[in-house]
Amino acid sequence: MKTKKLDTVTLDIVTTDNINAINISDLLQTMAGQISKKIASFELDEVIIVGTHTGGYWIAEKLHQQLQIVNPLGSLSISFYRDDFTHIGLHPEVKPSELPADIEGKHIVLVDDVLYTGRTVRAALNEIFDYGRPASVIFCALIDRCEHELPICTDVCGLSLKLSKQQQIKLSGPEPLELTLVESP
């Protein structure tokens, strides 16, 4: 399948060919368009874009440029907020989170690369609220896997994919941004 101008397209059966055909720049443009509609009524200096470490941050970086957001880009490393610490332990390379000093009363655009279970978003929301009380949070993901384990969904999404449990989609970057389909036996 060749992606065209996408609003939100759902792929039901996903193969490596489908993934290779995805044009990430098109998806980013679509997302930027949707986000700018959502933040149209806000003052620009009240908007903060925050990406989750590391894939979400790469996407957030592009959106930050395209939308010409004035506040510096934030990054979230949710390692200390995960719900599976007792199962898998600390991530071997924990990076510190960096949020612009005051998020109190600001509109947060939270960006992740892939929404799967929703647990990363849950952890990210908890971390954001430890920095202050934002006026609102919009959640954007490049890919939505449509199989959430928590009541969390995207406000803005580049592409919806229905993958099997054996399939994983990985974003590599930051230049160039590329999606790869990983199939486990």
User: Is the Cβ of residue 2 or residue 87 nearer to another protein in the bound state?
Assistant: 87
Are the C-beta atoms of 167 and 183 separated by less than 8 Å? yes
Q: How far does CA 62 lie from the centroid of its chain? A: 12
When asked if residue 89 is in the footprint of another protein (CB under 8 A), the reply is: yes
Residues in the interface with another protein (CB under 8 A) total 24
Question: Given candidates 7, 12, 93, 175, which one binds another protein under the rule CB under 8 A?
Answer: 93
Question: Given candidates 86, 165, 175, 176, which one binds another protein under the rule CB under 8 A?
Answer: 86
Tell me the window of 1-9, 41-49, 124-132, 157-165 that interacts with another protein (CB under 8 A): 124-132
Q: How far is the CB of 182 from another protein (least distance, A)?
A: 24
User: Is the Cβ of residue 81 or residue 139 nearer to another protein in the bound state?
Assistant: 81
When asked if residue 90 is in the footprint of another protein (CB under 8 A), the reply is: yes
The type of residue at 130 is D
Binding to another protein in span 13-72, by CB under 8 A: none
When asked if residue 120 is in the footprint of another protein (CB under 8 A), the reply is: no
Task: Report residue 88: phi and psi, to 5°.
Answer: -115, -5
Measure the CA angle with vertex 46, ends 150 and 99; round to 5°. 60
Tell which phi-psi region holds residue 168, choosing left (phi > 0), alpha (psi between -120 and 50) or beta. Answer: beta
DSSP secondary-structure letter at 138? E
Question: Given candidates 58, 116, 131, 139, which one binds another protein under the rule CB under 8 A?
Answer: 131
Residue 184 vs residues 17, 114, 148, 169, 178: alpha-carbon distances, Å: 17, 18, 20, 11, 19
Q: Interface with another protein by CB under 8 A: which residues?
A: 77, 79-82, 85-86, 88-90, 92-98, 104, 126-127, 129-132
